[in-house]
Amino acid sequence: EVHIVESGGGLVQTGGSLRLSCTVSGFSFDDYAIGWFRRVPGKEREGVSCFNRGDGSTYHADSVKGRFTISRDSARNPVKNTVYLQMNSLKLEDTAVYYCAAQSLGSTQYNYWGQGTQVTVSS
């Protein structure tokens, strides 16, 4: 069974940093794409950063490029692994609920989601 749990959100001032963690279990990193998304009330969900399935290459949205970095445990644990989102130089517009999600083999969209963690950037 797939489990995804995010943590690390909170309140931070503009220019500050936060690191989000996403603990995943029930699947292999090699078989799934893992990504971070965010949602602001009244706006569409936005893809922030992800690891692509297979080669493990990364993607960062233009809005966060150069400020956010996705990474993961270097040691692959068959039972549980962690994906991180390091967020630096935070801006007011980064305020959102951040979700970690996984896309399984054969799926055309991210089909497993965590509960989300709130990030609030204040001036």
pLDDT tens-digit map of 6-26: 999 999 999 999 999 999 988
Closest CA to 86 of 72, 70, 74, 105: 70
The residue with tokens 């950037």 is 121
Q: Which of 4-8, 67-71, 76-80 shows the lowest per-residue confidence on average (mean pLDDT)?
A: 76-80
Average pLDDT over residues 112-121: 97
Cα–Cα distance measured from residue 10 to residue 12, given in angstroms and rounded to the nearest whole number: 7
User: Half-sphere exposure of 4 toward its Cβ, with a 13 Å CA cutoff?
Assistant: 27
pLDDT the model gives residue 78: 66
| Whether 21 contacts 77, CB under 8 Å | no
